[in-house]
Amino acid sequence: MSRSLNKIMLIGNVGDDPDVRTTSSGTPVAKMSLATSRQWTNKDGSKQEKTEWHRLTVWGKLADVVKRYVKKGDRLYVEGRIEYSESESDGQKRYWTNVNVFEMVMLGGAPGGGGGGSSQSDTSPEAEVRSADRRPEPPITKPDDGILPF
């Protein structure tokens, strides 16, 4: 059997404060959006910009780090895998693309300063992120549990 790879790396800004909940089995899960932008100059010399929005899901100890430190506007580097899902509402199917995050680094220079403050403990958020359990939990099986979609 040949190997395959499903990995995505993104650097962007958090679109809104993360939504952190706990599954019925007690596993923390964080949902948030991340904006990435690209800029270019078209043929007539006009500057153009396009922003893409990515739906992120973070599980376990890393979700706890998100809850404690990540806020709207923070700049993040994330690594994860792309997952596709679908749900049905009122007889219409909706399709979702999601990034299941397994590594995250908080980057400075954004509004909110990366989430740290004077009340922060001796352990930096960056150290916690790197030491957090990187194995993602299994996905939530039913989208009607109030977590999916956001």
pLDDT in tens, 23-81: 999 999 999 999 999 999 999 999 999 999 999 999 999 999 999 999 999 999 999 99
Tokens matching residue 28:
């923390």
| pLDDT-derived band at 96, boundaries 50, 70, 90 | confident
DSSP 7-31: -EEEEEEE-S--EEEE-TTS-EEEE
Length of the chain: 150
Partners of 2 in beta bridges: none
Report which of residues 23 and 129 the model is more confident about: 23
The encoded tokens of residue 140 equal 């939530």
What pLDDT, on a 0 to 100 scale, did the predictor assign at position 109?
56
More confident residue, 84 or 124: 84
pLDDT of residue 108: 78
Residues 7 and 100: their CA atoms lie apart, in Å, by 10
pLDDT in tens, 131-146: 344 444 444 444 444 4
What is the per-residue pLDDT for 42? Answer: 93
% residues pLDDT > 70 (the chain): 72
What mean pLDDT value characterizes the chain? Answer: 81
Q: Does domain 8-38+48-131 have CATH number 2.40.50.140?
A: yes
Q: What is the mean pLDDT of residues 3-19?
A: 96
pLDDT above 50 for 114: no
- What band does 112 get if pLDDT is binned at 50, 70 and 90? very low
Give the mean model confidence (pLDDT) for residues 122-130: 46
